[in-house]
Amino acid sequence: MNRRNFLGLAAAAEPLRFLNRKSGVGAFRTRNAGRRPHVFLITADMVSPDHYHPSRALHREMHLPNIRSILADGVVFNNAFTVAPLCAPARAALATGRYTYITANGERAHDGHETILRPTDVIFQEYLKATGYVTKHAGKGHLGTQKFMDAFDENDNAWDRWAPPIHDDEQYLAYLRRLGVKPQRYRKQIFGLDQDRRTNRVGLGGWIEQADGRPFPLEAQYSFYLAERAVEKLDAALTDNDGSRPVYLQLDFFDPHQPFSIPVGFEEREHALRAAFPLPESYERVRARDWRPAADEPKVYEFYRKNWGLYNPETVRDYRVANALQMEVVDRAIGRFLGELKRRGLYDDSIVIFAADHGEMNGRQALVDKGVYLFPDVLRVPLAVKWPGVRHRTVESPVSLLDLAPTLLDSAGVEPEARLDGRSLVPLLKGQAPEADRELLFECGWHIGVNFACAFQRWEPGGAHWLYVYNCSSNADELYDLCSTDPENLARKPEHAKTRKEMIQRMGAFLERDPRWIGYWHSFRIDHYDDLPRSEAGDVQMFRPL
């Protein structure tokens, strides 16, 4: 390139901009992205692969017409993953596009743990807002109030705790009064048992009625209320501008996360699902050995089994049916919101995304919910992206929630100066061939118990798909075939020794070259000394700064 061309390009480059001009925080450039579409991001909380993944038969028995309509209109990523199986870490990674330092939810974290984003962190919604988007949000936050003030100019609607404020959300209670509905109570509740296998230990929710015993209607259920709030915020966003500014609206449901709250009107669906839902094979294996731990599994699984107490198989059947019904409630609420987008003529030309923050065990391994372990079912998430002008298809190559931030910034013509760990999905959305594989790290730390662990995946197009898990506090590691419908730990099986060693070496190389993972790497290389390539000791004592 000659000097004249170089100077011409330099003169044409967009100037550097900042989210905060005084502090210089959030440096970015913009490019002409053409007409910028409205963006609607819809997330559910803790969704089992049973409810959507093509390898599972269960979802075919469920009534999910609205979610399926997004899948049918968009690009479906069959191997989408969260980076962490807990709400706050997963949501932090999604919003920042970066691996997160948060390894716990705030409710059970040790004093001093980071459980919300720092004020100096930047979430992608802030960039959208700074470049002209009208940004709105309804539903769960769990990232701290500061970031929602920065991105949405609000801190009350994005409730910052794990469960919804059903009994103290003043706007929701006012909504119930307008409907003439009393607050909810349980008419039938699911309980896990204590270790004596007799005493109720933990309530998992169930079927609700009004406080006076009358049926609790669907339109009063909290997910449906959130959909109504999203419609109100959509109207406000469209009213606040002359139509020239695009809208970004994020609707974060709590459901189908337990405790379940199933309203009236699903009785026939319950009967049909009970006839169709078998117990998972892995649950039956745990039950057959009378809940004794398997020889090749980390202690954390036994710990969580004691916490949830699913000793009664009927409890697991109830849970699986209730979980599916709660997902159908979410679908009805999504239908309410999508219907309004279509009625306003917004749906076709907008980006509409459906995802979840993390997965759910749904009875597998005799567990429900999720935890600080890295079993495949808590790492998988649904991800469908309806993109204007792009026809439906499926993508098998691995992607991550990390990718949503760079994807939406790409669509808006925003180029942050800061490093992002995710990759824009726009090339895949437009039909570009995927790369052969993708380096993705998963981690967990502190929840009901403690288990600092990390995992790594490997995918072969049209072939094997592996997940290797390293548990820092256990001698047992894990290896899973991600193509299996009910994965079992293959790490100690002789026929998989070669794959296990290869995965250890791949993870080791990844951990060693990035100083963010130095904590895992120091432990990993000691525990796997015989499996890793020999090298010079290096700065083991860390005399030199990173």
The letter for the amino acid at 464 is A
pLDDT of residue 9: 41
Q: Which of the two residues, 89 and 142, has the higher pLDDT score? A: 89
| pLDDT class of 26 with cuts at 50, 70, 90 | very high
Q: What is the pLDDT of residues 363-385, one digit of tens each?
A: 999 999 999 999 999 999 999 99
- Predicted TM-score (pTM) of this structure: 0.95
Q: Identify the weakest region by mean pLDDT among 39-53, 158-172, 337-351, 516-530.
A: 158-172
Look at residue 8 in the predicted model and tell me its pLDDT. Answer: 43
Band of pLDDT at residue 110, cut at 50, 70 and 90: confident
- Backbone angles phi and psi of 29, in degrees to 5: -120, 160
Question: Exposed, middle or buried by CB within 10 Å (0-12, 13-18, 19+), for 180?
Answer: exposed
- Contact (CB, 8 A) for 183 and 167: yes
Instruction: Please determine, for residue 536, whether its predicted confidence score (pLDDT) is greater than 70.
Output: no
In this predicted structure, what is the pLDDT of residue 537? 61
Q: Provide the residue count of the chain.
A: 546
Q: How many other C-beta atoms are found inside a 10 Å radius of the C-beta of residue 357?
A: 28
pLDDT tens string 317-338: 999 999 999 999 999 999 999 9
Task: Judge contact between 208 and 185, C-beta under 8 A.
Answer: yes
Q: What is the pLDDT of residues 242-279, one digit of tens each?
A: 778 999 999 999 999 999 999 999 999 999 999 998 99
- Judged against a pLDDT cut of 90, whether residue 157 lies above it is answered with no
Taking residues 268-291, report their average pLDDT: 95
Q: Which two tokens stand for residue 185?
A: 């109570």
pLDDT, tens digit, 9 for 90 and up, residues 427-465: 999 988 877 789 999 999 999 989 999 999 999 988 899
As a whole number of angstroms, the distance between CA 190 and CA 315 comes to 7
The yes/no answer on whether domain 35-527 falls in CATH 3.40.720.10 is yes
In the chain, what are the domain boundaries?
A: 35-527
The arithmetic mean of pLDDT across residues 6-26, rounded, is 72
Distance CA 406, CA 410 (A): 6
Phi, psi angles (nearest 5°) of residue 533: -60, 145
3-class SS at 384? strand
pLDDT of 360 higher than 50: yes
Q: What is the mean pLDDT of residues 383-397?
A: 95
Residue 409, phi then psi, degrees to nearest 5: -65, -40
